[in-house]
Amino acid sequence: MDSELVDLVMEDTRERMVKAIEHVKNEFGSIRTGRATSTLIEGLLIDYYGTETPLKQLANFSVPEPRLLVVSPFDKGSMAAIEKAIGNADLGLTPSNDGNVIRLAFPALTEERRKTFVKMVKTKAEEGRVALRGVRRHARQELESLEKEQSLSSDEIERLEKILDKMTQDEVAVVDAMLAHKERELLEV
């Protein structure tokens, strides 16, 4: 019984850490690098016949050139709504519509804009690290409550806390590696 509870706590902790890493990945994907990528606009909500619908459900995306993203709506009637949503998203992109597709030309980033993006990425990475440490803290509290119920010995708690620390360090290292990669990508001219 006791080992089952410990296993549940540890498994829940692993799952939460994986979700935190996925969140950081998604946050990084939403920060522009000067290259065309659909992750920047996929989540935009489009007013599609009165319903807020994510753009990725309304269109296909292609990148024919490094700085050009082509949005091909499934329903040509949604073109104006998609164009309006992209224009209002404050992404620094100007949509051009030819009646069949919407083209988004990604301008080259200025040095100042790159540095701003690097700061944003560092902030997102720190938020990810804080989330991971919060997951560890929550797991420790659960383990300590098991200790108070006399289900676990203090030696067992100490061993499990070392495992939690190692898991946290490994996941923080993943965030740091993702940060380093994104910084290189942003500063690449």
Q: Angle 111-148/154-187 helices, nearest 10 degrees? A: 170
Q: Which secondary-structure segment (H or E) carries 145?
A: helix 111-148
| pLDDT of residue 161 exceeding 80 | yes
Is pTM beyond 0.85? Reply is no
Residue-range domain boundaries for the chain = 2-30+110-187, 38-105
Considering the domain 38-105 in this protein, what is its CATH number?
3.30.1360.40
**Crossing angle of helices 2-29 and 111-148, rounded to 10°:** 170
- C-alpha 79 chain-centroid distance: 27
| Model confidence pLDDT, tens digit, residues 39-68 | 778 888 888 888 898 888 989 998 888 888
18's tokens: 């994986």
Residue 70: closest CA among 47, 45, 37: 37
Given the structure tokens 């009637």, which residue do they identify?
A: 77
May I ask the CATH class of domain 2-30+110-187?
A: mainly alpha
Buried-exposed string 33-47: b where 16+ CB fall within 10 A, e elsewhere: bbbbbbebbbebebe
Kindly tell me if the per-residue pLDDT of 159 is higher than 60. Answer: yes
Give per-residue pLDDT as tens, 60-96: 998 888 888 899 999 888 888 888 888 887 777 788 8
